[in-house]
Structure 1
Amino acid sequence: MSSWGADMDKPHHIYSFTWQGIEIEATYTPRKWSVVDCLEIRSVNPARAPLPITDTGYLCCYLVPDEQPETIAEDGSEIIAQIVAQLDAQARSREWLAYVEASKQGDLFGGLL
């Protein structure tokens, strides 16, 4: 039997938190396809709001299990802390700072200029 069906029932953990006024949901699936850990990050409110780590509000990362701790705190505190650290680090980028400034001013031309 293929392992695809077995992974559909794989336990996953969903963690919600707010970063700079954006509600974010992180879904962590350990040993997806019995090979790698999977971490999906999405902005949920506002839906699909850009984040410093993704223009689309969605990012999927695959993590090598040997490089990750064997146990993840049930409350997801380690995962949330790592995501927030990456968001904070990328939020200092020139591109993100320009996006934030443009968002404050509004864009009358839809980015055409």
Structure 2
Amino acid sequence: MAYQTHLLHWHDYKLEIRFEPNFFNMTRLGLKSLAHIEVRTLEPVKAALPITETGYRSHFITLEDMQPYEDVLAFVTAWLKHAAESAEWKEQAQNSRQMSLF
């Protein structure tokens, strides 16, 4: 496998995106190509994101499902943006900006 590695700056986070467009070499079996995406928070180290509480996420997707996006960075950016709309993430982001006395 030959992963492509990219850096993505999203809000105040620096992310490493690793992408393998033909994971398991599925096309040789006549099947749809299955891609693998890894998202890792580099700065702040292991910081939670809307798509992961641990700062790491592994995700499989068909290339067919990725077609609406220009590339893997556009896909991950849209994924993060959509997940950041959740009430849980908004609450977590708000709490992280406020200092706690307890």
TM range (shorter): 0.7 to 0.9
**What TM-score results when the alignment is normalised by the length of structure 1?**
0.73
The answer to whether structure 1 residue 87 and structure 2 residue 80 are counterparts is: yes
Structure 1 residue runs of 4 or more that deviate by more than 4 Å after TM superposition: 65-69
Note the aligned Cα RMSD (angstroms): 1.7
1:101 aligns with 2:99: no
Unmatched tracts of structure 1, length 5 or more: 1-9, 70-76
SS state of the match for residue 56, structure 1?
A: coil
Shift of 1:33: 2.1
Whether 1:33 aligns to 2:24 is: yes
Larger radius of gyration: 1
Structure 1 partner of 2:60: 62
Q: Which amino acid aligns with 2:90?
A: L
Per-residue CA deviations over 1:4-38 (Å, capped at 9, x if unaligned) read xxxxxx21100101001100111001222213321
- TM-score w.r.t. the length of structure 2 is 0.80
8 Å contact kept, 2:66–2:75: no
Q: Unpaired runs of 5+ in structure 2?
A: 27-33
Relative to total residues, which structure has the larger strand share, 1 or 2?
2
